[in-house]
Amino acid sequence: MKNSSIFSRWNLRQVVNASGTMTALGASRIVPEAQEAMTEIAGEFIHMDELLDRASDAIQRLTGAEAGFVTASVSSGLVVAMAACMTGADRGRIMRLPDTEGLPTEAIIQVGHLVDYGTTVELSLRLPGGKPVPVGSVSRTHDFQIESAINERTACVVYVVSHHTVQYGMVPLERVVEVAHARNIPVIVDAASEYDLRGFLEKGADIVIYSGHKFLGGPTSGMMAGRKDLIEACRLQNLGVGRPMKIGKESIAGLIGALEAWEARDHAGIRRDEDRRIDAILEGLSGVKGIAAQKIPDPTNNPLDRVMVHVFPEKAGMTATELAEALANEPTPIVVRGHEAELGHFLLDVCNMRDGEETVVCEAIKRLVA
């Protein structure tokens, strides 16, 4: 493991991240271009509106959106987008939230999209005074249920793209957009951990919110892209409920740097490196008693694969949950993607692994089930 004085000085433990771009682990490594931009601007003064304009330019260029905005996180972005759909650009309305008298407040969302990613999607919609309106069930939603829920109080429809959501039986985004736009209702997409910076807008979404600190490799931030009038209304929320969620010059500059790096990134080369690590894990776990490993694609169609590790307790001597916990309790913690461990498996995500860490993970698993 790499030694750094900050770990000893602040009594922090380094972690082998086999979980992916998870906020609880710091999301991702900030790319050098973002770090350089943050350092360069940190000691300077600028007009923040000009910097936000440059961020909008970069977001437009990469996403094809009419405009872009930067806030503190995707969760913050949902708060701000919900508020924008309620108030528009009316500053009087903006400055009196969460007083919503006379405003449309309802956000229609499929029950299968009501996930928890450290907090609930519902909470982000409620914070500015919005009212989530769940439709359908955890196994099936029909387009007519969304259509029936739309009324004069409807502010927006929210669509969540995540491995946490139900992956079957939900109304697809294209149809959600069609139903909502027929009644002039905007569609917000939470695409926090998604790689595709254009597809959701191309399918008709009005606001799409991405994490700046996951696949983009920027500082903690929420990147918003979409319709010019709605993005302007989002930006104006800094006069109101968005104020506690405003983002500093360093993070805005860092996100711009990350976006510029994204344009120049060797995406195919990164995939090859990840595939090499996956192959090494599959080979390293081959023949380990009680363990079966397989390569699986990302459930939301991001261009990456992971390793699913099946654990058979009668041979491994422990359950998948117990093995995941044992790995996390190693002297150097190894954190796996264990949100489905009760089903007898966990996932290994290599996107944030350094070379050699795939061997560390395999050796730990072998030792723990021996």
What confidence category does residue 102 fall into, taking pLDDT thresholds of 50, 70 and 90?
A: very high
Compute the Cα dihedral for 196, 75, 30, 263 and give only its sign: positive
The pLDDT value given to residue 9: 87
114 and 235 housed in the same domain: yes
264, 279, 301 - which closes a domain: 264
234 with 275, same domain? no
**242 and 176 share a domain?**
yes
Looking only at the bridges linking them, the beta strands covering 222-226 and 67-71 are antiparallel
- Residue 162: band (very low, low, confident or very high) from pLDDT cuts 50, 70, 90: confident
Please tell me the distance from the alpha carbon of residue 118 to that of residue 75, in angstroms, as a whole number.
Answer: 10
Q: What is the pLDDT of residues 54-80, one digit of tens each?
A: 999 999 999 999 999 999 999 999 999
Using CB atoms within 10 Å of the CB of residue 310, give its burial: 0 to 12 exposed, 13 to 18 middle, 19+ buried.
Answer: middle
Task: Give residue 214's identity as a one-letter amino acid code.
Answer: K
Point out the domain boundary residue: 264, 281, 311.
264
pLDDT at 3: 53
What's the alpha-carbon Rg for the chain, to the nearest Å? 22
CB atoms within 10 A of CB 100: 19
Listed residues 264, 282, 310: the one ending a domain:
264
Whether residues 293 and 182 fall in one domain: no
Residues 192 and 303 in one domain: no
Regarding whether 19 and 41 lie in a shared domain, the answer is no
Give the other-Cβ count within 10 Å of 240's Cβ: 19
Residue 262 to residue 218: CA distance in whole angstroms = 10
Q: What is the mean pLDDT of the chain?
A: 93
Tell me what pLDDT residue 25 has: 77
| Cα 247 to Cα 220: distance, rounded to the nearest angstrom | 9
Residue 68: name the closest of 56, 83, 54 by CA.
Answer: 56
Residues 211, 68: one domain?
yes
Band (19; pLDDT cuts 50, 70, 90): confident
Same domain, 356 and 255: no
Q: Which of left, alpha, beta for 184 (phi over 0: left; psi -120 to 50: alpha)?
A: left
Contacts of 159 by beta carbon, 8 Å cutoff, 6+ apart: 109, 110, 113, 173, 176, 187, 188, 189, 190, 205
CATH number, residue 286: 3.90.1150.180
Determine the pLDDT at residue 163: 82
- Residues 111 and 170: their CA atoms lie apart, in Å, by 9
Same domain, 201 and 286: no
Query: Residue ranges of the alpha helices (H) in 3-129?
Result: 5-9, 32-42, 48-63, 74-87, 91-96, 121-126
Q: State residue 2's pLDDT score.
A: 52
Task: Determine the Cα–Cα distance for residues 190 and 75; give it in Å rounded to an integer.
Answer: 9
Q: Are residues 303 and 168 in the same domain?
A: no
Provide the domain count of the chain.
Answer: 2
Q: 190, 263, 235: which is closest to 70 by C-alpha?
A: 235
Cα separation of the two ends of the chain: 24
**What pTM, to 2 d.p., does this model score?**
0.91
Boundaries of domain holding 206: 32-264
Among 8-12, 21-25, 218-222, which is the least confidently predicted range?
Answer: 21-25
Reported as a single tens digit per residue, the pLDDT across 250-303 is 999 999 999 999 999 888 998 999 999 999 999 999 999 999 999 999 888 888
| CATH number for the domain harbouring residue 218 | 3.40.640.10
348: which 2 tokens? 């290994």
